Each structure stands twice: as structure tokens, then as C-alpha cells.
Amino acid sequence: MGMGKDTIFNMEARVVLEGLRVAWGRGLRQVEVECDNVLLVESLLIDGSINSRMVELRLIHGILNREWNVRIRHVPRSQNAIIDYMAKFVISGPPSLVVF
């Protein structure tokens, strides 16, 4: 399932990337990333993003190497219902900035 040329994996990677950028920009240096995409989490944890052809994964890897503490963990989709609702709301809504 995808939206246009983007796959769910690409969209979730982009969301993680933007979330990390926002956290860094706001001066946060202790961050916890929770994601229900186990493949994305594994790619980030085993440094599979270093040589990836996917730009977002390489950018995430670069951000993770900054001077801060980022914990990445998998959260099963069944425990992630609120986040799924928020993501669907953003995707189906008007193209504007949504802050929760």
C-alpha cells in the first residue's frame, strides 16, 4: 500500500526524520523514538541505514550520530492506536502543519 510513489516505509522514515529534526532544532538532547514498523526500527538499530539507497535512512543515520542520546524502539501496532489515528488524520486532512 502506498500513496503515489511513496511506500508506507518511505513515509514512516520521513516522519522519523522530521521528528528528529524538530527535536534537534528545539534543543532536545534526550529523545525516544517509538515506531510500529519493525523493519524501519531494525534498519536504524543495525546501521543498515549507512549504505542505504534511501536518502531518508542516510539522513536519519547522520542525525543519530550527533551529540545527543536517541533511543529507538519498536512498539507493536496494537499498542500504537493513538499514533495511527493521528497519522491517518494528518494524511486525510488538508495539507497544512498539524501539531499535537
pLDDT in tens, 42-92: 999 987 666 778 899 999 999 999 999 999 999 887 776 776 666 666 556
Instruction: Pick the closest to residue 19 from 9, 6, 31, 30 (CA basis).
Output: 31
Residue 1: what pLDDT?
Answer: 43
More confident residue, 44 or 93: 44
Alpha helices (H) along 1-100? 8-25, 38-45, 55-64, 81-92
For the chain, which residues make up each domain, given as ranges? 2-92
Q: Which fold has domain 2-92?
A: Nucleotidyltransferase; domain 5 (3.30.420)
pLDDT at 21: 96
CA gap 24, 76 in Å, rounded: 26
What is the pLDDT at residue 99?
57
- Short-list 8, 14, 62, 12, CA closest to 35: 12
Residue 7's identity, in one-letter code, is: T
How do residues 9-39 score in pLDDT, each as one tens digit? 898 999 999 999 999 999 999 999 999 899 9
